[in-house]
């Protein structure tokens, strides 16, 4: 993989990671997810396949299969691969704004999937209850206090507070604010946090604040096991945090769920697409639903071009601002070892400060 520094061996191979202090503060997250480390690999379309879910689970974390907008039969096959190979709990991420969302729910309801994560936009009460009737536990993102309260009323089993620092589809509020608005209010369900997290030290402090676990995406793209195109990873290596920007919305009639990605030609083309769709709305040549579908099709197709085909100019390079904190590829188990050792060390440091 030219141009990328790859760490192929484990610097601390023989030593078992001690998590004495971590175990005291992330117990609820471990119990809810059923894994050793309540560290979630966030679902990334075209990236989070059964292979990546298996690698995360083998390292002690919690993997999430990304449904994206794949054909229902493809999702069924990928779930079957997870059930056959993962060897433990995992989740399926269902994108509520995907055209195949309804069909995806049917597929998941008929499979032995223990947990469903709703993404893209917020699920309706019926979506949550439908999955719960099928025996699934549910998780949803919350970008405001009111949304968190609504999700809990709908019966959601756990929340993910994802700040706008994250990659892919995001809200508009930073994690720093969400922590104070939602986490500090101590919701009655487990709360996991995401957005801009890439180090064990940061993870330790988020757990001290009350989080039951964390979710990362960009960090796991930079794993040896992640089967993205080499040029996609090379773009991450070169990128700075400020180059991961969010898409604007130009007109209320064309609601755009903001996407954070590395600035390139695709970002410019998306701006032009919005203007063309707004003009078509003005002239009555297209309805709002069709316009919204065109927006989602753009990102689904653009992400495939970048991740699978390696077109890093006209494809979508979805990445969080933590891309500025990752600069090398590492085996998944070494990533988890580094995260947990650094987190435990930071907790030990905090304990010594407090006497």
Q: What is the CATH number of the domain that holds 222?
A: 3.20.20.70
Asked whether residue 101 falls in the same domain as residue 162, the answer is: yes
Q: Is 353 helix (H, G, I), strand (E, B) or coil?
A: helix
**To which residue do tokens 């536990």 refer?**
137
| Whether residue 11 has pLDDT greater than 60 | no
What average pLDDT does range 68-96 have in this prediction?
96
Asked whether residue 199 falls in the same domain as residue 254, the answer is: no
DSSP assigned state of 122 = P
What is d(CA 186, CA 162) in angstroms, rounded to the nearest whole number? 16
Beta-bridge partner residues of 115: 91, 137
Of the candidates 218, 254, 256, 270, the residue with the CA atom closest to the CA atom of residue 239: 218
Report the C-alpha dihedral over residues 42, 47, 48, 49, rounded to 10 degrees.
180
Percent of the chain with pLDDT over 70: 96
What average pLDDT does range 55-68 have in this prediction?
97
Of the candidates 116, 108, 180, 102, the residue with the CA atom closest to the CA atom of residue 148: 180
Q: Answer yes or no: is 12 within a domain.
A: no
What average pLDDT does range 280-300 have in this prediction?
86
What is the pLDDT at residue 289? 82
- Cα dihedral 203, 235, 249, 128 sign: negative
Q: What is the CA radius of gyration of the chain?
A: 20
Q: Is 112 exposed, middle or buried (0-12, 13-18, 19+ CB in 10 A)?
A: exposed
Q: Answer yes or no: is 322 within a domain.
A: no
Asked whether residue 265 falls in the same domain as residue 150, the answer is: no
Angle between helix axes 125-133 and 145-154 (nearest 10 degrees) is: 40
Asked whether residue 247 falls in the same domain as residue 164, the answer is: no
DSSP assigned state of 20 = T
Q: Answer yes or no: is 10 within a domain.
A: no
Query: Are 177 and 185 in contact, with CB atoms under 8 Å apart?
Result: no
Asked whether residue 112 falls in the same domain as residue 253, the answer is: no
Nearest-5° Cα angle at 339, 304 to 262: 30
Asked whether residue 158 falls in the same domain as residue 259, the answer is: no
Q: How many helices (H) does the chain have, and how many strands (E)?
A: 14, 11
DSSP assigned state of 321 = G
How many domains does one find in the chain? 2
What is d(CA 175, CA 62) in angstroms, rounded to the nearest whole number? 21
Asked whether residue 256 falls in the same domain as residue 136, the answer is: no
What is d(CA 277, CA 288) in angstroms, rounded to the nearest whole number? 9
What is the pLDDT at residue 40? 98
Q: Answer yes or no: is 177 within a domain.
A: yes
Asked whether residue 84 falls in the same domain as residue 216, the answer is: yes
Asked whether residue 205 falls in the same domain as residue 101, the answer is: yes
What is d(CA 289, CA 46) in angstroms, rounded to the nearest whole number? 24
Ramachandran region, residue 55 (left: φ > 0; alpha: ψ -120 to 50; beta: rest)? alpha
**What is the rounded end-to-end Cα distance, in angstroms, of the chain?**
48
Angle between helix axes 50-58 and 332-353 (nearest 10 degrees) is: 40
| Whether residue 43 has pLDDT greater than 80 | yes
Asked whether residue 287 falls in the same domain as residue 338, the answer is: no
Of the candidates 336, 304, 354, the residue with the CA atom closest to the CA atom of residue 46: 304
Query: Are 21 and 348 in contact, with CB atoms under 8 Å apart?
Result: yes
Domain with 257, as residue range(s), is 230-307
| Whether residue 298 has pLDDT greater than 70 | yes
Q: Answer yes or no: is 5 within a domain.
A: no
What is the pLDDT at residue 247? 87
Q: Answer yes or no: is 3 within a domain.
A: no
Lowest mean pLDDT among 5-19, 308-322, 334-348: 5-19
What is the pLDDT at residue 15? 60
What is d(CA 288, CA 280) in angstroms, rounded to the nearest whole number? 10
| Whether residue 6 has pLDDT greater than 70 | no
Asked whether residue 148 falls in the same domain as residue 69, the answer is: yes
Enclosing H/E stretch for 105:
helix 101-109
Lowest mean pLDDT among 55-64, 87-96, 186-195, 298-307: 298-307
Of the candidates 269, 337, 266, the residue with the CA atom closest to the CA atom of residue 303: 266
Beta-bridge partner residues of 65: 92
């Amino acid at each position: 993989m030219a141009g990328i520094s790859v760490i192929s061996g484990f610097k601390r191979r023989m030593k078992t990671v001690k998590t004495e202090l971590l175990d005291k503060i992330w117990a609820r997250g471990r119990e809810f997810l059923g894994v050793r480390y309540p560290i979630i690999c966030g679902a990334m379309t075209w990236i989070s396949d059964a292979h990546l879910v298996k690698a995360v689970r083998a390292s002690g974390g919690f993997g999430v299969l990304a449904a994206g907008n794949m054909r229902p039969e493809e999702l069924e096959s990928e779930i079957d691969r997870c059930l056959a190979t993962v060897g433990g709990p995992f989740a399926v991420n269902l994108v509520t704004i995907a055209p195949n969302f309804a069909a995806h729910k049917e597929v998941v309801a008929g499979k032995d999937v223990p947990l469903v994560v709703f993404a893209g936009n917020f699920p309706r009460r019926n979506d949550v209850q439908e999955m719960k009737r099928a025996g699934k536990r549910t998780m949803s993102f919350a970008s405001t206090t009111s949304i968190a309260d609504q999700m809990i009323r709908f019966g959601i089993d756990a929340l993910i507070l994802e700040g706008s620092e994250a990659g892919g589809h995001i809200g508009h509020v930073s994690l720093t604010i969400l922590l104070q608005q939602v986490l500090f209010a101590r919701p009655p369900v487990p709360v996991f946090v995401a957005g801009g997290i890439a180090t064990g030290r940061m993870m330790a402090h988020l757990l001290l604040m009350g989080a039951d676990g964390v979710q990362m995406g960009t960090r796991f793209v930079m794993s040896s096991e992640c089967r993205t195109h080499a040029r996609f990873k090379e773009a991450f290596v070169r990128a700075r945090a400020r180059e991961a920007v969010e898409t604007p919305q130009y007109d209320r009639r064309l609601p755009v769920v903001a996407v954070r990605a590395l600035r390139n030609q695709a970002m410019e083309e998306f701006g032009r697409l919005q203007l063309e769709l707004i003009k078509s709305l003005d002239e009555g040549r297209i309805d709002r639903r069709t316009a919204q579908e065109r927006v989602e099709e753009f990102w689904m197709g653009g992400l495939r071009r970048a991740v699978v085909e390696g077109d890093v100019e006209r494809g979508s390079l979805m990445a969080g601002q933590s891309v500025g904190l990752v600069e090398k590829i590492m085996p998944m188990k070494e990533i988890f070892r580094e995260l947990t050792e650094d987190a435990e060390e930071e907790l030990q440091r905090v304990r010594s400060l407090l006497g």
